[in-house]
Structure 1
Amino acid sequence: MKGVIAGAVLFAAALILPVDGLPKLLLFLLAYFLIGGEVILRAVRNLTRGQVFDENFLMTIATVGAFAIGEYPEGVAVMLFYQIGEFFQDYAVNKSRKSIADLMDIRPDYANLARGDEITKVNPQKVKKGDEIVIRPGEKVPLDGVILVGSSSMDTAALTGESIPRDVKVGESVLSGFINKQGLLRVKVEKEFNESTVSKILELVENAASKKAPTENFITKFARYYTPVVVFFALGLAIIPPLVIEGALFSDWIYRALIFLVVSCPCALVISIPLGFFGGIGGASRQGILVKGGNYLEALNSVSTVVFDKTGTLTEGKFQVVDVISSGEMSGEELLYLAALGESHSSHPIAQSVVKANKTKLDTSLVKEYKELAGLGVMAEIDGKKLLLGNSSLFKDEGITVKAEDNGKTIIHIAVDLEYQGYIQIADKIKSNAKESIQRLKQLGVQNVVMLTGDREQVALQVAEDLGIDKVYSELLPQDKVAAIEELTGGLQKNKKLIFVGDGINDAPVLARADIGVAMGALGSDAAIEAADIVLMTDELTKLPVALDIASWTKRIVWQNIIFALGVKGIVLVMGAAGMATMWEAVFADVGVALIAVLNAMRVMRYKV
């Protein structure tokens, strides 16, 4: 930059000082080489590598040509403004990159390794699985682990985009990238640095830029063919008219050709469009949405069908007792207590929900001859009585008539000594923001919302009705889900895309098969980060419409740049060929347009919900 400044001073001196002839030419030449020497060297270096038609070549040819026809001030001025434009472009690009770097500044600098009572500050990469570390208030969590001692409040914004702190206590997990806000914690490390959440996220963000969107690829190919075409057109513009038009001067048409060359530089597109997608990825990560590449960000603009897994995605994935109905002499509390005793030896989530709902202390020593019947229920002897718990199929096999309606909830029937006593209704609670998120998706242009589940048809239909879901596939095995996705994908209109949204742990095959796989609530889940194309770092469904909105916002800005750059360049190219534009208009059509396009692309980073 110092050379450019020195050259600018010499350029001003050449314009102001009362010198003529050779001294004036030498001043302009010295200024020119100080300002543009780096550009000329790059052009020569690229020529030796076979890279002929780039912006360095165009600037060098245009400015050398200006000197050749005696337009010394304009030759230096073009190079000066080009360098100033490059400086501002670099500044804008670096500022955008810094915004993402600041946002993703979650890489820990050190870890406090604990060996007994001795604490040593070490590089996080030196800490092994099973080691214990101490995290003081205000420090970043350097590695994933489980709290052994202490409780605190964690700032998770860098990973999730959430401003509300998360309370943690002994036995709970903390992830690298969290910031400890309050208490002193002692943590047992569960993953080494290279396998930790922060390392995987940083790798994901760093690799995102390598996956170009179709628009980026198009512009790169466009520039590859566009540049040589305009160079040869400029050459024809300089040579042919003076040969065929009476009175035409070579100097006049060479000047027009030089203007044509300056204007034709495609750097406004080549720089601003990748920056637009990079900014979109950064804006999404600011909201706790990690997009693995510009290609996935652009694909979100073509989504017509969104497919949701049910349990853990649309619902909490936590079963709870919603009602206890007695049909005999026993009270509801007695029924629930008896059912909790019968389910106390089962690890099934539904069984555990019954045990949790019971408020009376259980005496499990009363349970004898416990037998679990896969897919049916439980048989046991309790205090000398034969207890039967399970679904209607089990009771039908035992010849017992049930007295409950199938209303879309899971039902556990209860019988004592083959006498029907009542039933318990259990439901998986729908997430509070599920309906709002689906409505927002439809407002954004999603035509079909589909749900896949292994649950019973009646339960699935009830959830679908509550949420406004268009189509339901129920009672599916994992391989059935892949087949359902293939069926839905086959029915899509041309150029339309399908999103599958799952929890990312047991849905990896379906995430991989969908056009765009989105992992929900995948904080710390290796399977989710590996299988999905987009990772929502919290379990909030509202993040999905935000991702589509960011993709739309990015697309608008990218196309604004394409239309603006090509429009201005096209106008000035025609004006230059017709002799109606000077080198100053050419500088604006190149450097000015590029700078405006880059600054416009940076607006993507400022997306707000």
Structure 2
Amino acid sequence: MNKKQKKMLVRILLAAAFMIGLHFIEIEGWYRFIAYMIPYLIVGYDILIKAGKGILNHQVFDECFLMAVATLGAIALAIYDNGDYTEAIAVMLFYQIGELFQSYAVGKSRRNISDLMDIRPDYANIENNGTLEKVDPDEVEIGSVIVVQPGEKVPIDGIVLEGNSSLNTSALTGESLPRDIKAGDAIISGCINMSGVLKIKTTKEFDESTASKILDLVENASSRKSRSEAFISRFARIYTPAVCYSALALTILPPIVRMLGMNLDPEWHVWMYRALTFLVISCPCALVISIPLSFFAGIGGASKAGVLVKGSNYLETLSKTKIVVFDKTGTLTQGVFEVSGIHHNQIENDKLIEIAALAESASSHPISKSLQRAYHHEIDRSRVKDIQEISGHGIVAKVDGQDVLIGNTRLMEKYHIPYKECHHTGTILHMAINGQYAGHIVISDMLKPTSLKAMQALKSCGIEKLVMLTGDIKKVADSIGQKLGLDAVYSNLLPGDKVEKVEELLSSKPEHAKLAFVGDGINDAPVLSRADIGIAMGAMGSDAAIEAADIVLMDDDPMQIPKAIKISKKCLRIVYENIVFAIGVKLICLLLGALGLTNMWIAIFADVGVMVIAVLNAIRALFVNKL
């Protein structure tokens, strides 16, 4: 509890003790009134002040006004009837208990989010004359060299100059698996250095670093309200004045009808008591508090799982998603090319890879890199001469004095080398040595291990159509689509073509269904922006992802996508439960109150009790571990 909450708890306990003590003391007349006003003012003075300020500011109709009118009216009736003041004090007492509980629940949600997003560094280490000097991260300029010791947070994005270590990225990804890092690797702020000392050259200012952008995203999420939240806000503005006027009508009209039309005792005090009970019941606290809290907790729970949601409106849209469209590279596949097949012609596999790696040693192309990795040995560049890269064809070189050709079918045809057709899926590199066909190597962009499981999970959580858009050739795209059980695959697409295809899917989908696009957030920014909901995947350190997408998945595991959808569905289910429960209970109690079948104690339950139950239900959105 914070200081304010502790002060309120003391006031509640003190007022309760006074109220209970007065039951054992016999006091008559005005002394009795004054005695009971002590606990009433102890627990409710701030409500009365807020109600007064609201009247002066012409913002009359809020819960403080309802509580003030209801309790002061109950006190007036107790004076008139020489009755009990306990009900008025109890209404104010239990209302404040509910407010304290709500304040604590919101505080707990904020603390949970703060804990799981505790990535803002307090300082950066600058080496000065052999000693480390702690400085404010804001003061570190781009290109500075900082030192991160074991156990410290990485304060600013940069490149590792010296050192090897493992990084704890759980605050960013929600996963506890450490990430190994070495000299030359890019490193992002918010990670915790677990082992070795790292020297890092900064590539961004502190305000532009990943940690700052993520914190800003989470802190501003509440500014983008969902339709449910907006509805509740509008509902409260109309509902509160309506019940106030209804209570006034309940006070005046029945007595007048009884007096003029039926010649009966108007029973003013009876109808006033009913009207005051009606006011207590009608307080919209449960809705006004629990609905935003549900979304706040949902965003917090998602953040803990490495799913950053930019606003509750996006959480609501995600829950209605029926079509998910994927980019291929880096989303469903690893985005890292690997040798998946070797087919030789009178030459050993290892020898074919060795010659290919040497011939491709001067190239930085991803396919060349995959051949160099497959060789598993250090490349001796002195063995390679006369390297010539023929655009759109491949490479010609001398390896150990032998003429080597490595490339596509056009290269073979250019040099009149008879080659064997290959029907394997992937990029085919044909090779010839000294004018003789030597075989071919298949290079593939491998599927992520969890891609198939993720597609199955999406189907099981209500997704009706899975689509893949890719610039890759049809043969490769169709093969991946078949392996993953996708409903539609579109290949050979440029970035502009992807936008057009998403436009087609949006125009042909059912009106109620929402379309989500999942991409890497860099090349797919136009599509991310055009879809109903844009999801950037594996976006650790990607500025474009954080800027373009509505939801950012900090891990590149495809299983994060169904998890995000399940989180959104759970959050919206809790929101609807609270709306139905709160309105349902209040309508029943309002009707019973108008008929005189309830008293102030039932009214307290309809207000405070319903609010506490709704808040407890809302907090469930924080817990997503079992999804």
Give the TM-score range, shorter chain: over 0.9
The 5-angstrom pairing of residues 334-345 of structure 1 reads 334-345=351-362
Choose the corresponding residue for 2:283, options 257, 265, 290: 265
Asked if 1:69 corresponds to 2:77, the answer is yes
* Matches of 1:359 and 1:77, distance apart in 2: 78
* Matches of 1:372 and 1:204, distance apart in 2: 46
- Aligned-pair CA distance for 1:267: 1.0
Cα pair 1:408 1:460 within 8 Å, conserved = no
Q: Calculate the TM-score normalised by the size of structure 2.
A: 0.92
- Aligned-pair CA distance for 1:334: 4.1
Cα pair 2:517 2:531 within 8 Å, conserved = yes
Cα pair 1:11 1:27 within 8 Å, conserved = no
The 5-angstrom pairing of residues 499-514 of structure 1 reads 499-514=516-531
User: What secondary structure, in the 3-state scheme, does the structure 1 residue paired with 2:183 have?
Assistant: coil
CA deviations on 1:421-475 (whole Å, 9 max, x unpaired) are 3211111111111000100000011111111111111011111111111111111
* Matches of 1:10 and 1:383, distance apart in 2: 99
Closer, same or farther in 2 for the Cα pair 1:75/1:331, shift >3 Å? closer
Q: Which runs of 5+ in 2 are unaligned?
A: 1-7
User: What secondary structure, in the 3-state scheme, does the structure 1 residue paired with 2:220 have?
Assistant: helix
* Matches of 1:259 and 1:580, distance apart in 2: 10
* Matches of 2:434 and 2:157, distance apart in 1: 51
In the alignment, which residue of structure 2 is the partner of 1:545? 562
* Matches of 1:288 and 1:371, distance apart in 2: 46
Bigger drift between 442-451 and 40-49 goes to 40-49
- Aligned-pair CA distance for 1:254: 0.9
The 5-angstrom pairing of residues 518-537 of structure 1 reads 518-537=535-554
- Aligned-pair CA distance for 1:292: 1.0
CA deviations on 1:188-225 (whole Å, 9 max, x unpaired) are 22222111111111101101111111111111111111
* Matches of 1:396 and 1:305, distance apart in 2: 44
Asked if 1:194 corresponds to 2:207, the answer is yes
In the alignment, which residue of structure 1 is the partner of 2:255? 242
- Aligned-pair CA distance for 1:318: 1.0
Bigger drift between 516-525 and 147-156 goes to 147-156
In the alignment, which residue of structure 2 is the partner of 1:307? 325
* Matches of 1:377 and 1:302, distance apart in 2: 48
In the alignment, which residue of structure 2 is the partner of 1:321? 339
* Matches of 1:374 and 1:459, distance apart in 2: 22
Closer, same or farther in 2 for the Cα pair 1:182/1:362, shift >3 Å? closer
Cα pair 1:43 1:57 within 8 Å, conserved = yes
In the alignment, which residue of structure 1 is the partner of 2:374? 357
CA deviations on 1:85-105 (whole Å, 9 max, x unpaired) are 211111122112111111112
* Matches of 1:557 and 1:281, distance apart in 2: 13
- Aligned-pair CA distance for 1:286: 1.1
User: What secondary structure, in the 3-state scheme, does the structure 2 residue paired with 1:313 have?
Assistant: coil
* Matches of 2:127 and 2:378, distance apart in 1: 41
User: What secondary structure, in the 3-state scheme, does the structure 2 residue paired with 1:153 have?
Assistant: strand
- Aligned-pair CA distance for 1:580: 0.5
User: What secondary structure, in the 3-state scheme, does the structure 1 residue paired with 2:121 have?
Assistant: coil
- Aligned-pair CA distance for 1:275: 0.6
Closer, same or farther in 2 for the Cα pair 1:190/1:445, shift >3 Å? same
- Aligned-pair CA distance for 1:120: 1.2
The CA RMSD over aligned residues, in Å, is 2.1
In the alignment, which residue of structure 2 is the partner of 1:489? 506
In the alignment, which residue of structure 2 is the partner of 1:16? 24
Cα pair 1:304 1:445 within 8 Å, conserved = yes
User: What secondary structure, in the 3-state scheme, does the structure 2 residue paired with 1:69 have?
Assistant: helix
Cα pair 2:422 2:428 within 8 Å, conserved = no
Closer, same or farther in 2 for the Cα pair 1:488/1:19, shift >3 Å? same
Closer, same or farther in 2 for the Cα pair 1:394/1:50, shift >3 Å? farther
* Matches of 1:177 and 1:416, distance apart in 2: 51
* Matches of 1:503 and 1:265, distance apart in 2: 47
In the alignment, which residue of structure 1 is the partner of 2:57? 49
Cα pair 2:424 2:442 within 8 Å, conserved = no
* Matches of 1:139 and 1:548, distance apart in 2: 34
CA deviations on 1:46-88 (whole Å, 9 max, x unpaired) are 2222212110111111112112222533222211221122111
> Aligned AA for 1:100?
I
In the alignment, which residue of structure 1 is the partner of 2:301? 283
> Aligned AA for 1:347?
S
* Matches of 2:378 and 2:270, distance apart in 1: 100
* Matches of 2:413 and 2:321, distance apart in 1: 46
Closer, same or farther in 2 for the Cα pair 1:101/1:384, shift >3 Å? closer
In the alignment, which residue of structure 2 is the partner of 1:256? 274
Choose the corresponding residue for 2:420, options 394, 403, 412: 403
In the alignment, which residue of structure 1 is the partner of 2:315? 297
The percent identity for this pair of structures is: 51
Cα pair 1:407 1:458 within 8 Å, conserved = no
In the alignment, which residue of structure 2 is the partner of 1:215? 228
> Aligned AA for 1:488?
L
- Aligned-pair CA distance for 1:283: 0.8
CA deviations on 1:365-411 (whole Å, 9 max, x unpaired) are 56555443333323445677654332224444555443123332210
Asked if 1:228 corresponds to 2:245, the answer is no
Q: Calculate the TM-score normalised by the size of structure 1.
A: 0.95
- Aligned-pair CA distance for 1:347: 1.9
> Aligned AA for 1:496?
A
> Aligned AA for 2:53?
R
Cα pair 2:123 2:136 within 8 Å, conserved = yes
Asked if 1:346 corresponds to 2:384, the answer is no
In the alignment, which residue of structure 1 is the partner of 2:113? 100
* Matches of 1:128 and 1:603, distance apart in 2: 43
Choose the corresponding residue for 1:469, options 478, 481, 486: 486
In the alignment, which residue of structure 2 is the partner of 1:110? 123
In the alignment, which residue of structure 2 is the partner of 1:443? 460
> Aligned AA for 1:251?
H
In the alignment, which residue of structure 2 is the partner of 1:78? 91
Q: Which runs of 5+ in 1 are unaligned?
A: none
CA deviations on 1:260-292 (whole Å, 9 max, x unpaired) are 111111110110111111111111111111111
CA deviations on 1:153-177 (whole Å, 9 max, x unpaired) are 2221111111122232333333222
Number of aligned positions between the proteins: 608
User: What secondary structure, in the 3-state scheme, does the structure 2 residue paired with 1:257 have?
Assistant: helix
In the alignment, which residue of structure 1 is the partner of 2:183? 170
Cα pair 2:593 2:599 within 8 Å, conserved = yes
Closer, same or farther in 2 for the Cα pair 1:379/1:180, shift >3 Å? closer
Bigger drift between 119-128 and 401-410 goes to 401-410
Cα pair 1:141 1:180 within 8 Å, conserved = yes
CA deviations on 1:505-557 (whole Å, 9 max, x unpaired) are 22111111111111111111111111111111111111111111111111121
* Matches of 2:421 and 2:292, distance apart in 1: 60
Closer, same or farther in 2 for the Cα pair 1:382/1:142, shift >3 Å? closer
In the alignment, which residue of structure 1 is the partner of 2:476? 459
User: What secondary structure, in the 3-state scheme, does the structure 2 residue paired with 1:580 have?
Assistant: coil
Cα pair 1:319 1:350 within 8 Å, conserved = yes
Closer, same or farther in 2 for the Cα pair 1:184/1:414, shift >3 Å? closer
Closer, same or farther in 2 for the Cα pair 1:10/1:412, shift >3 Å? same
- Aligned-pair CA distance for 1:495: 2.0
Cα pair 1:406 1:458 within 8 Å, conserved = no
- Aligned-pair CA distance for 1:481: 1.2
Bigger drift between 256-265 and 6-15 goes to 6-15
> Aligned AA for 2:535?
V
* Matches of 2:300 and 2:241, distance apart in 1: 34
